[in-house]
Every structure is written in C-alpha cells, then in structure tokens.
Amino acid sequence: MRLRFLLQASIAAFGTYFCMYAFRKPFTVATFANESFIGIDYKILLIIAQVIGYTLSKFIGIRIIAEMKSSKRMMFLIGFILFAELALLGFATVPAPYNIVCLFFNGLPLGMIWGIVFSYLEGRKTTELLGVILSSSFIVSSGAVKSVGKIVLDTFHFNEYWMPFITGGFFIIPLIFFAWLLERLPEPTKEDKLLRTVRKPLDKTERKRLFKKFAMPLTLIVFFFMLLTSIRDFRDNFAREIWDALGYEDASIYSISEIPIAITVLIVLGFIGSVTKNFKAFMYYHYVLIIGCTSIIISTLLFQQSLISSLVWMTISGLGLYSCYVPFNGIFFDRMIATFKIKGNVGFLIYIADAFGYLGSILILLYKNFGKGDISWLSFFITALYFLAFIGLIITTYCFQFFRKKYKKPIQIQELIYEQQI
C-alpha cells in the first residue's frame, strides 16, 4: 500500500509541475532578435513582466495557500493553468509591444501552483522523498519544455509569438490527468501525523506568531533564498544566452545538462528523507547547503582557470545551486515544522521565501540590464554565483547554530506530550 501511494504521488506531483512549466518557460527559448521597446530589449521586458506577475502571485499566495481548504485545491489548480494558457493566446494575438502585459497575466496564476501541489504531499513520512521528486521536476522540465518550444519553432515553423501557446496546448490534457491523480491521494495516516505533526490552515494571527518566534533565521533564510531564486531564475531565463556564450547551440543541451543535477539532488535529499529523527535530518539540510555553496565556489574557480570544461562547470555549479534551492521549496520547512512541533503548514513559510525570492529575481534583472548592461551574460552569471555562495555560507552557519540552541529539552518534552496526544 505504501509503495503504491509513493508511486502514485510521485507520478502525480512530478507530472503536474512538469506540465506547469510548459505554460511558463517555452517563450524564453525564443530570441526575439532585434526587437525592443522604449530602448529596452523586448525579451528582457517579457521576462520582467512575467516575473512581476509571478512575484505578485507569491505575495498573494502567503495568505491564499496558507488558508486554502483541501476541497478546493483541484479547482484552483486547473483554473490557474487555463488562465495562464489564455494569457499566452493573448500574447500570440495582441500585437507587440502591447502583448507584454499578457506575460504579466501569464505569470500571475502560475506562482500559486507549487503551493497547491506541495500541500498534497506535506506532513507525511515520505514528504522528503516526494518533495525532492517534485523539485526534480522543475530542474528537468525547464530544459525539456524549452526543447519542445524550440522544436515547435524549428520543425512546425510557428513564429515566436504563437510558439508558447502551442507548446502549452500540448500539455493541457496531461496536466488535468496528473491533477486528478493528485486529488485521489489519501490523507496522511496516523503514523504520518505522529512523525510530522498534523497540518492545518493558518490564520493571520497564527502566521504572525510563527514568524515572530523564528524571526531572525527566517529573515536570513529569506534573503539567502532571494539570492538563490534570482540567480537560478537568471540561469534559467537566459540559458540560451549563457550556453551560446559557452559555444553550445544544440537544443538537447538544455536537457542533457540538467538530468545529472536532478538525479544527484534526488539521491542526496532522498537519503535525508529516510532519516526518521526530525532534528537530525533538519541539521543535515544545513550540511547540504554548505556543501552546495562550496561546490559553486570551487567549480567556478576551476572553470576560470580552464581546469574543467564549461559543460562540467555548468553541471557542478548547477548542482550546487539546486542543492541549496530545492530544500527551501518545502522539505526544509517541513522538517522545521516537525522538529519544533509547529501547528501550521509549509505553504506559509514557502510563500514568504518565494515572494521575496522572485522580488530579488526582478531586482537582479533590472540591475543587469540597467545598472550593468555592459557586462556579458556569462560574466554577470559568474560574479553572481560567487556572491551567492559566500553569503550563503555565512547565513547557513548562523542558522545552524541558532537552530541547535533552539532545540532544547522543552522541545523534547513537548514531543513526548504530542506523541501521547496522538
């Protein structure tokens, strides 16, 4: 029964989020060469418009996802996707540059999808494994849907405006199927509730109380995640420009470079998921963050010294980046809730981090294009990686010490009381 659940949940979660990316990322594989508006590169404006919509969605989601009832999840999930596809139709039919606003409306509902999907998985014995499988979907899917988008351009000969809508259309039926599978998942078992605490909606007062209790580490984590999201999103949105600068132009590179990253992250974080003691697993995530930051620094230094190839560098630095990024998308917070017996849900913490994360993504885009427009995509990416890794090491070290001190005997006594109640 457990194996059947794990298989169904894995397929449903991975498939749903994989399909979501088909409505979000394919347009980035287009170059929109020689197009601009008010003196700014047209593609830059499209990305900024979508990220603004996505960011606003995350801020709205702090409340909506935290308070969402399970009975309404599927309705919102499918409704948000169809709204995003309708916006892509507008992008295809509204003349440029007025269709820029359509990318804003495309991003607006898509920011809610992660929280809805993860809500089906949280608070279970297998949440870590399922969370990593879900997270591996956006590592693989971004490259995969870009490959599909490029095929739509090169093989089916649709123009760059219609390509995003056509690509998304291929994924509507599969997405509805995977959403249906999610909806059929059973509720957490008694054992799940004992190991990971009961999850429930959080009202405004409870959200404030939770944040106040962990204000300093959460603030630092949000800042770290802001950097992670900004640079991961930059790497994702401008993958074609970065790979072109490195001398790779084949469409398959977008998938080939990401598959080893997804597999490695799945294995490492899946191992942590097998650890039953919540505090021990929670500390392991800090080790992963430290190793991830260190691997970014070392691989980038080796690449600059021509000691490793550009493909190896992109893979190792990408692995370090995603090793840090993936835990903050739910499983880090899931263990935090279980460790400190917090009465609430992961969605609230995810969306605080995500909201400011994508705000950072907007800021880094503006900085690159208006503050440091003369720096190449590749040079900017390298500098950003160094900054991220060094700041990440400092923040992770502080949080490690904070949570170790916070986890004292009162918490352990509280665990015994909680177990007796269950």
For 212-240, what is each residue's pLDDT tens digit?
889 999 999 999 998 998 898 888 777 77
**pLDDT band at 17; cut points 50, 70, 90:** very high
Cβ–Cβ under 8 Å, residues 156 and 48: no
For the chain, which domains are there? 1-196 (1.20.1250.20), 199-408 (1.20.1250)
Residues 68-90: tens digit of each pLDDT: 888 899 999 999 999 999 999 99
What was the pLDDT predicted at 120?
A: 92
Q: What is the mean pLDDT of residues 328-336?
A: 86
Q: What is the mean pLDDT of residues 348-365?
A: 83
Task: Tell me the two tokens of residue 415.
Answer: 């665990």
What gap in Å lies between CA 177 and CA 183, rounded to an integer?
10
Residues 233-289: tens digit of each pLDDT: 888 777 777 888 888 766 567 667 778 888 888 888 888 888 888 999 999 999 999
Residue 214 has phi, psi (to 5 degrees) of: -120, 40
Please give the C-alpha separations between residue 140 and each of 19, 24, 261, 375, in angstroms, as whole numbers. Answer: 11, 14, 9, 28
Closest CA to 43 of 387, 368, 375: 368
Cβ–Cβ under 8 Å, residues 152 and 22: no
For residue 37, the SS3 value is strand
Task: Tell me the two tokens of residue 271.
Answer: 């191992």
Which alpha helices (H) appear in 120-251, and where do they start and end?
Answer: 127-154, 163-169, 172-183, 190-196, 204-213, 215-237, 239-246
